[in-house]
Structure 1
Amino acid sequence: MSNTVFCRKYQQELEALPFPPLPGEKGAEIQRTVSRQAWEEWQALQTRLINEKHLNMLDPETRAYLMEQMERFLDNRDTDQAEGYVPPSS
């Protein structure tokens, strides 16, 4: 059986991340409080934001913006969306 965490986004026990997704204390905190499902969903949104908004990851302001969006996403608050993104139809 895999490890689980009480996910702050979904407010239930879900599969844990196998390792911290970021360096330092922030990564350890995310590993303790965010499920694998929530993190994978954040990564998909982050990729859309980077691609659609043409973000430069070398810019410290861009990285700060993405960290803010990540916190908002994981806390179930409104986040920016990629303009023009159309989700695939099921």
Structure 2
Amino acid sequence: MSDEPGLRLDKWLVYARFFKTRALAAEVAAKSRLRINSIVVTKPHYRVRKGDVLTFPQAQRIRVIRVLDLAERRGPAIEAQRLYEALDDLA
């Protein structure tokens, strides 16, 4: 395991405003619908670190994003957008 700082997956997804609640974010992870660096995640407590690439369904699309930063709270949308880079928009 890396000594690099990380944040729980479910918290990070809420802080980055991909899901409205931790329960929804945890449900996506628990149903094995989320990948981190191509590895299927089944636990919402998996640690997300800077540089990780997340792939998950959101509404009617599949999101692919790179984690740029960790957060300490769920802030405004402008603040949340600084936490990641959307890779699905690059194609």
Select the structure of larger CA radius of gyration: 1
User: Whose strand fraction is larger, Structure 1's or Structure 2's?
Assistant: 2
Q: Same fold (TM over 0.5)?
A: no
Give me the TM-score of the superposition, normalised by structure 1. Answer: 0.28
Decide which structure has greater helix share: 1
What's the TM-score once normalised by structure 2's chain length?
A: 0.28
